[in-house]
Amino acid sequence: MLFGKSPEAARWLQAALSDPEARKDYSVLLRGEVSAPFVCDRPLRSARGEPTPSRTEVDPLEVFDHSTLANVRILTGRRHQIRRHLNHAGHHVVGDTTHGKGHVNRAFRDGFGLERLFLHARSVAIAHAPTERLLT
């Protein structure tokens, strides 16, 4: 979690996270076997129903039977972007009760005790405006 300790810091942090140079990486367990990296750049609809550009990069790290552990990087920050893009690609996030598959989620819950969404923010890197130093 990132917190701005003042209104000014919170505004700066929000702007830094929205910057195209910000790097946001997640560890995600996907449904299905993904052997090659792929990109989803399907526009996602905003709360007002307008299509907005969105880009998600998926890099598989380890392939298992019926699932893949992947590093997922978002280059835009849309609401539920990872979940929505992976749903579109047919590789739902394991444990996703909204966009995922119930039988897959039950199998992981019963077989491995996974009771929640397997989507974890791993790292964030943003430029510190005054110094231009990379903060990770």
Report the half-sphere exposure of 67 (CA within 13 A, side-chain side).
16
Mean pLDDT in residue range 102-121 = 94
Q: Write down the pTM of the prediction.
A: 0.86
CA distance 56 to 85: 7
Length of the chain, in residues: 136
Angle subtended at Cα 100 by Cα 96 and Cα 105, rounded to the nearest 5 degrees = 70
Neighbours of 56 (CB within 10 A): 24
Mean pLDDT in residue range 65-93 = 93
101: tokens are 């598959």
- Answer whether residue 121 shows pLDDT above 80: yes
Q: Give strand pairing partners of 106.
A: none
**pLDDT band of 132, cuts 50, 70, 90:** confident
Q: How far is Cα of residue 8 from the mean position of the Cα atoms in its chain?
A: 27
Q: Of 56-60, 74-78, 107-111, where does mean pLDDT reach its minimum? A: 74-78
